[in-house]
Structure 1
Amino acid sequence: MEELRIEANGNLGPIDSSRIPRYAGAATYARLPRLDQVSKADVTVVGVPFDSGVSYRPGARFGANHVREASRLLRPYNPAWDVSPFENIQVADAGDMAVNPFNINEAIETIQQNALDLTANGSKLVTLGGDHTIALPLLRAAAERAGEPVAMLHFDAHLDTWDTYFGAEYTHGTPFRRAVEEGILDTEAISHVGTRGPLYGKKDLDDDHRFGFGIVTSADVYYQGVLETVAKIRDRIGNRPLYISVDIDVLDPAHAPGTGTPEAGGISSRELLEIIRGFRGMNLVGADIVEVAPAYDHAEITGVAGSHVAYELVTLMADNAVEGDRHGAPNGYAQQALGARLEELAKADRP
């Protein structure tokens, strides 16, 4: 079948859904070209079908392709940003990494090396998981490429800074403790967003604070709102090289039932998307979306959410790549309100 694609500014874009039905053809992310169809990608989308690090319900190994299928509905212009991301930069889908499902240590090494290979020419990665174990090797690669420890925003219902499970150091509940221990995170600029639910004990929070993490709970987002949440995060991160890790269970199960460890009381998909949109201009160097488990995802709710989260992250990378007056006027009420709030904070006396 002939691929009738949208092309602009020398970039090969998605298949034209006005000429080929969305349900037809191969399911690359957002119907974008494969990596082998372009000479170079500014942003590479890659899947990591690995979930051997989970502590409860498995199935996230099928998450990447589930998100890809849901992404057939995406369109090339993002009105919230007034940006056409696939025109501004070349985005391509590299397919899936082949990782050992029976050996976590070997899988981590493979993911790290593949991430380094995919970014050797300057491309940035948006990774579709997989369980949250994969964040550690991805952070290792991001820090190596940045040449310094990276700032991190971790969207999740859980802390993921526990020490071990059943004596195992590398699981989906431990990646950020290991990352701090390895010195690959800038501990003055790391934060959880959307955490909630019971813990094993108060020591979990004490350890987390000792590692340097700030915490914005889902209740904080509810009471303070998106604008204040974004303002506080931007103040903490600044312009440091930033990695964003999104566990889809940061969303309430009403918005993301298809995940392995759901927790009641989460943020909405609207809140998550608006928070990410508030990061316009921040120095995003890499990102992942993990823990999408399609076996529990009735009506593709979680897959749709994951596909849109990835779209906003790609748009952020594309927006940052535009030269000159790249942001233009704020588009829509939310962006205008955020701009006004940030101006207020900039003028205020800060402690």
Structure 2
Amino acid sequence: MVELGTGNEHDFGTPGSSWGLATYANLPHEPCLSKKADMSYDIAILGAPFDTSTTGRPGARFGPRGIRAGSWRIYPDEAWSVYTGENVFKSGAKIVDCGDVPMTWLDNTVALKQLEKAHAMVAGRKTKSKHISAIPRVIALGGDHTTTLPALRAAFRHWGKISVIHFDAHIDTWNPKVLGGDISDYAAVNHGTFLHIAHEEGLITNASIHAGIRAPLAQPKRDMANDIRCGFSAINARALDRLGTDGVVKLLKERVGDSNVYISVDIDVLDPAFAPATGTAEPGGWTSRELLTILDGLVGLKAIGADVVEVAPVYDNPGETTVLVAAEVVQSLLYLMVKTPVSVTS
């Protein structure tokens, strides 16, 4: 018989990724997708294991587990920021990990409907701390970028039209007739068209903005004209050299104003040197430090939802560079949410 110790919790050492259920930042797991469960929380981490709408390398279906693995070193009791002096996990907000949404691999249309239903269910629970949010907010772990569309659809039910801050190397507002839709309506819904579709469905405001854009365009005048029609302005990647991080933050805040905001972070906004594990890597991106500084600078915005997408761990290096920074991005998104309460009527 193996003796487990004296019963003192310290006999088991410090929690880590080598035992127990793997959750983001070693947070408690809640069965948020169970109809029978009665629970309350303020912010939920939700995995979206989906990558069958990519136009590049597949593998982002394993992004949620990769980001959780990258967060193994984050412990809620010991997550005090040297920059802010604060700990998002000690803010009074109850933060939980809801696990992954069961999504079919065989039908994109069905899978995205499953994800939308899951978002609505998770956000439909009670909040634990009324001063944090009127309803629970969700941070999704992708998954390819198409997974943002069901999140926006579900968020629209609660919040109405939302402004989007979109960190990405690509604009993702391509007209489906140009990307995918010339093949079939099924193919038209993909990780390069989802923002166009969100605009057409009336989910987002005309005060949305891209940041970190640098990927080539097929027809610049046509593509950017459609991008503007979809309600977006853009900060390209090299603008950071001229504006600095404070300048980028200023432009982002001015663009979305006082509106409710959804923040979507495609990990390919980073240079492949900092995030090689992604489906459509583009050289010339931002550093990890620059992105994290910009995210922290967005404090004060009404972030009603967020995601980190396009993490494909199979392309990572032995040091797990990509999943480590993706986990840190999630922590910055949590900071924005706990610092600024939001209400449905705001």
TM-score > 0.5 by shorter chain: yes
Tell me the equivalent position of 1:19: 14
Residue 86 of structure 2 corresponds to residue 67 of structure 1: no
Amino acid of the structure 2 residue aligned with 1:143: F
Deviations 1:68-102 (A, max 9, x none): 01101124222323221112211000000011111
Q: Indicate which of 24, 28, 43 corresponds to 1:29.
A: 24
Q: Indicate which of 86, 89, 92 corresponds to 1:86.
A: 89
Q: Indicate which of 133, 140, 151 corresponds to 1:127.
A: 140
Deviations 1:16-56 (A, max 9, x none): x9733454332100000001499421000010100010111
- 1:252-267 to structure 2, matched below 5 A, reads 252-267=271-286
User: How far apart are residue 174 of structure 1 and its match?
Assistant: 0.7
- 8 Å CA contact retained: 1:222, 1:267: no
Whole-angstrom CA distance in 2 between matches of 1:24 and 1:77: 24
Distance 1:103 1:270, change over 3 A: same
Q: Indicate which of 106, 112, 118 corresponds to 1:114.
A: 118
Tell me the equivalent position of 1:152: 164
- 1:182-201 to structure 2, matched below 5 A, reads 182-187=201-206, 189-201=207-219
Whole-angstrom CA distance in 2 between matches of 1:314 and 1:134: 19
User: How far apart are residue 224 of structure 1 and its match?
Assistant: 1.1
Amino acid of the structure 2 residue aligned with 1:27: A
- 8 Å CA contact retained: 2:16, 2:73: no
Tell me the equivalent position of 2:268: 249
Whole-angstrom CA distance in 1 between matches of 2:313 and 2:212: 22
Tell me the equivalent position of 1:342: none
Instruction: Using the TM superposition, name which of 235-244 and 33-42 deviates more.
Output: 33-42
Amino acid of the structure 1 residue aligned with 2:172: D
Q: TM-score when scaled to structure 2?
A: 0.85
- 8 Å CA contact retained: 1:44, 1:126: yes
Which has a greater percent of helix?
A: 1
Tell me the equivalent position of 2:234: 215
- 8 Å CA contact retained: 1:249, 1:291: yes
Instruction: Using the TM superposition, name which of 200-209 and 161-170 deviates more.
Output: 161-170
- 8 Å CA contact retained: 1:83, 1:319: no
User: How far apart are residue 260 of structure 1 and its match?
Assistant: 0.6
- 8 Å CA contact retained: 2:175, 2:226: no
Tell me the equivalent position of 1:95: 99
- Over the matched positions of the two proteins, sequence identity in percent amounts to 37
Whole-angstrom CA distance in 1 between matches of 2:117 and 2:84: 33
Whole-angstrom CA distance in 2 between matches of 1:119 and 1:100: 22
Amino acid of the structure 2 residue aligned with 1:117: M
Whole-angstrom CA distance in 1 between matches of 2:108 and 2:31: 28
The total of aligned residue pairs comes to 310
Task: Specify every segment of 5 or more residues in structure 2 that has no aligned partner in the other structure, as ranges.
Answer: 33-37, 126-134
Tell me the equivalent position of 1:161: 173
Tell me the equivalent position of 1:104: 108
Whole-angstrom CA distance in 2 between matches of 1:199 and 1:153: 20
User: How far apart are residue 305 of structure 1 and its match?
Assistant: 0.9
Instruction: Using the TM superposition, name which of 300-309 and 104-113 deviates more.
Output: 104-113
- 8 Å CA contact retained: 2:302, 2:341: no
Whole-angstrom CA distance in 2 between matches of 1:18 and 1:178: 50
Whole-angstrom CA distance in 2 between matches of 1:36 and 1:56: 33
User: How far apart are residue 142 of structure 1 and its match?
Assistant: 1.1
- 8 Å CA contact retained: 1:4, 1:20: no
Whole-angstrom CA distance in 2 between matches of 1:104 and 1:4: 49
Whole-angstrom CA distance in 2 between matches of 1:178 and 1:31: 36
Tell me the equivalent position of 1:56: 56
What's the RMSD between the two structures over aligned residues?
2.2
Deviations 1:211-257 (A, max 9, x none): 22110010111221110110111111112110001110000000100
Residue 197 of structure 2 corresponds to residue 178 of structure 1: yes
User: How far apart are residue 151 of structure 1 and its match?
Assistant: 0.7
Deviations 1:290-334 (A, max 9, x none): 000011001211100100000100111112249xxxxxxxxxxxx
Whole-angstrom CA distance in 2 between matches of 1:86 and 1:36: 20
Whole-angstrom CA distance in 2 between matches of 1:19 and 1:297: 27
SS at 1:72 equivalent:
coil
- 8 Å CA contact retained: 1:149, 1:186: yes
Q: Indicate which of 281, 299, 303 corresponds to 2:323.
A: 303
Whole-angstrom CA distance in 2 between matches of 1:174 and 1:106: 18
Amino acid of the structure 1 residue aligned with 2:333: L
Deviations 1:261-306 (A, max 9, x none): 0001001111110111011111000001000001100121110010
Tell me the equivalent position of 1:10: none
- 8 Å CA contact retained: 1:194, 1:218: yes
